């Protein structure tokens, strides 16, 4: 039950962990079964990403905490799916 999919618009600095590192860290969150990260734009200092997280009963606050710990910030939640 709960959130089964999040699609997030994320801004990440170029310095620090890679998007591969971010995907691996997000997969460590209980309930997360799938992560997809797509680079939409790149400039001198930042990457604009679409981050898709799927699973069972996903804890948004934990996803947010992991993303922020990787030097990124969520601009918006663009899609949410939930199941009973």
Distance (Å, whole) CA 12 – CA 47: 5
Residue with tokens 């939640």: 77
Closest by Cα among 82, 58, 65 to 74 = 65
The pLDDT value recorded for residue 84 is 85
Q: Residue 1 pLDDT > 90, yes or no? A: no
CATH of 2-83, one of 3.40.50.1580, 3.30.70.1340, 3.40.710.10, 3.90.1580.10: 3.30.70.1340
Q: Residue 25 pLDDT > 90, yes or no? A: yes
The pLDDT value recorded for residue 69 is 96
Residue 53 banded pLDDT, cuts 50, 70, 90: very high
The pLDDT value recorded for residue 58 is 97
């Amino acid at each position: 039950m709960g959130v089964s999919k999040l699609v997030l618009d994320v801004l990440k600095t170029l310095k620090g962990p890679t998007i591969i590192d971010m995907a691996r860290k997000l997969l460590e969150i209980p309930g997360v079964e799938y992560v997809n990260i797509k680079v939409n734009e790149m400039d001198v200092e930042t990457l604009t990403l679409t981050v898709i997280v799927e699973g069972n009963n996903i804890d948004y606050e934990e996803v947010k905490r992991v993303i922020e710990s990787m030097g990124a910030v969520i601009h918006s939640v663009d899609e949410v799916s939930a199941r009973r």
